[in-house]
Amino acid sequence: MTPRPDEPPPGARGRLRGAGATASRRTSGSDARVPQRAQPEAAAAGEAQDPLSGEPATRAPLDARALVRLVKRAGGIALAHFRSAIAETKADQSLVTEADREIETFLRSEIERVDPDVAILGEEFPLRGDPRAGFAVAIDPIDGTEAFVAGLPTWSISVGLLFRGRPHSGVVYLPAFDDLYIASGGILRWNGKPVPRGGLAPQQSGFVLAYSEFHRRHLLRFAGGMRKVRALGSTAYHLSLVARGAAEGAIIGRVHLWDIAAGAALLQAVGGDLVYLRSGEPVDLEPLLDGAPTRDLLVAARLGATEGVLRNIGRR
């Protein structure tokens, strides 16, 4: 039976490690198995359960429809500022605009109104609540602020919902394109149409996305198997394109949870992988719940492409 969008999905797909999950570098997404555990008495009553812990699962604060409504409204706020925004430089040298703050304030207030107890992590404001206790929402109000400020359309709004550190559902929305990706109930939909496991067939092989400063990593090189590399400015959009199947993989910089929470849910829904570049081990989201960045660069890859992408990224 297909789970409702407001229930934790039936186990992790692909190499993406969450709190309490086990994974192996050589285990493919299609072969991964969730260990069977004793179920509490609530199961007899038909209560929804977390497939990894076996504990009763509480209802998610936001279902798929609510997520879409929120990001569409946030998109309207962003478009009102687009191509007129003035950037400020933060302490970490990244850019921020009034649109970033306005969108995150809006999303936080709406989420708090729906569920006053849910934990919220966002790029522009402090952590609220305990993200390890249950459901948490990770918000990137404008992912790709440099593109936004430059007047380029490849920025996105990203909202990811996690359950005890594991991807539950997520939405990535590009308002300038009206392009929407949503993963819920273990299914990825692109502009309303389901995307099959493994993603849509790519137009060509060897197409990889990279973060904007990848060229500065002089220790890294691409082997001949990667023929085209592009940087579009938004980590969430890159993950969406990999999940959709438009790209074989993406090289992701050292990022925070709000950059990848929604994209991780998209990848999980189609069996994609999110691994560390150096080790090839699955990314564990649990250490990122306090707002710390990832310890290394990441690689996202569509189902079956991970080993090839890792093999074609060498060191000089």
Looking at the structure, do residues 86 and 190 belong to the same domain, yes or no?
yes
Residues 6+ apart with CB under 8 A from 22: 35
Is 125 exposed, middle or buried, given 0-12, 13-18 or 19+ CB atoms closer than 10 A? middle
**Which domain CATH number covers 309?**
3.40.190.80
Which of 170, 195, 220 is the C-terminal boundary of a domain?
Answer: 195
Look at residue 90 in the predicted model and tell me its pLDDT.
86
**Alpha-carbon span 266 to 75, nearest angstrom:** 19
Residue with tokens 């934990």: 119
Looking at the structure, do residues 191 and 212 belong to the same domain, yes or no?
no
Looking at the structure, do residues 68 and 190 belong to the same domain, yes or no?
yes
Residues 6+ apart with CB under 8 A from 288: 256, 257, 294
Q: Which domain holds residue 166?
A: 64-195
pLDDT averages per 10-residue partition of the chain, 316 residues: 44 47 37 33 38 54 94 98 92 89 98 95 95 96 95 97 95 98 96 95 74 58 62 93 93 94 98 94 95 92 89 67
Look at residue 99 in the predicted model and tell me its pLDDT.
97
Look at residue 93 in the predicted model and tell me its pLDDT.
78
Domain contains 2? no
Looking at the structure, do residues 181 and 70 belong to the same domain, yes or no?
yes
Q: Report the number of distinct structural domains present in the chain.
A: 2
Looking at the structure, do residues 130 and 228 belong to the same domain, yes or no?
no
Looking at the chain, list the stretches that DSSP marks H as alpha helix, in order from N- to C-terminal side.
64-81, 98-114, 145-150, 235-244, 257-270, 306-311
The pair of structure tokens assigned to 52 is 């990894």
Looking at the structure, do residues 79 and 166 belong to the same domain, yes or no?
yes
Look at residue 233 in the predicted model and tell me its pLDDT.
87
**Alpha-carbon span 62 to 298, nearest angstrom:** 28
Look at residue 92 in the predicted model and tell me its pLDDT.
80
CB atoms within 10 A of CB 219: 7
Looking at the structure, do residues 223 and 267 belong to the same domain, yes or no?
yes
Domain contains 200? no
